[in-house]
Homo-oligomer: A and B are copies of this chain.
């Protein structure tokens, strides 16, 4: 099996290295062969080639059986509105060109981390939901976007087609069938035309999934309910921008953004990445939490290679580490281990 490794910027390379360590341990134990191909993306790729998603990287991704991704982003581009090339363009172009339309983000609480969550224990204990975020449409990609000629007006477009909504909705309905059979569509149908198309389309599809209870929630309300009653959610389906916001928000339930993995699924490719960003302030210090990347590698084994047992073993190893208080300083401030110590520990 061939895995493209796109480590990217900031803490991306550090955490990806630990995920690869864990994949190697799995390969050895189970006698699998994983081949890795490194490729450039983000600011790292801009520095080397001027392009945040070079063609060579696209080729590597397309010929790989799965992609393991770190993070992209560099603060030097964030406050420069005139930067012509931006690391995020690489990420977005990659998602688009590889057709990675469904971003799957599981959220759960860890008993060992209940003390560090800002939320009360009885609120979060037992939380277990998964967000299906549409990833190649909406305001991230809609045209036209840009500036008026005089530069005094800016505009973005949010566009969705029925087809785009249907393909991810089918995945979300199927996931709900295999879980607690509840699907919540998060939208802003009282204001947005695109949200009304989402609501209409998902409602139409629901007759194909009679076992799944479908409900609708406005995004403002959802942002509140996810904190108040996270256990009420099972499968959450939403568009690109809303999914970006509520999954980061939901990370407080687990206790740290550093813990959460994600899978981005397309028809031909699939990519796995921690949901934390490049976290430049922590880069190079050996303090980045590798668990999000490691759990992304676990999702890779399950989703891309159908290796369920291997996936479960990684999850168990992560749990064991957390249960004995072995982790980086974001989750265990008093006795934080280094990124590579945590990777070593989990690989054992």
Binding site for B on A (CB under 8 A): 73, 77-79, 81, 86, 88, 92, 117-120, 123, 139-140, 142, 145-147, 152-163, 188-194, 196-197, 199-200, 203, 216, 219-221, 223-224, 227-228, 241-242, 244-249, 251-252, 257
What chain B residues lie within 8 Å of A162 (beta carbons)?
152-153
Whether B79 contacts A216 by the Cβ 8 Å rule is yes
What chain B residues lie within 8 Å of A257 (beta carbons)?
224
Q: Which one of A79, A117, A160, A193 has the greatest number of beta carbons of chain B within 10 Å? A: A193
What chain B residues lie within 8 Å of A163 (beta carbons)?
152
The answer, among B119, B153, B193, B248, for a CB contact under 8 Å with A154, is: B193
The answer, among B153, B223, B247, B251, for a CB contact under 8 Å with A246, is: B223
Give the 5 A-B residue pairs with the shortest CB-CB distance, closest first: A154-B197, A223-B249, A220-B248, A81-B196, A156-B158
Question: Contacts A221-B248, A223-B245, A224-B251: A81 and B200 contacting too (C-beta < 8 A)?
Answer: yes
CA distance A8 to B244 in the complex (A): 33
Whether A118 contacts B228 by the Cβ 8 Å rule is yes
**Looking across the interface, which residue of chain B has its beta carbon closest to that of A117?**
B120
Question: Contacts A155-B158, A191-B140: A224 and B249 contacting too (C-beta < 8 A)?
Answer: yes
What chain B residues lie within 8 Å of A158 (beta carbons)?
139, 155-158
What chain B residues lie within 8 Å of A247 (beta carbons)?
220
Whether B157 contacts A156 by the Cβ 8 Å rule is yes
Whether A193 contacts B156 by the Cβ 8 Å rule is yes
Whether B118 contacts A155 by the Cβ 8 Å rule is no
What chain B residues lie within 8 Å of A244 (beta carbons)?
188, 219-220
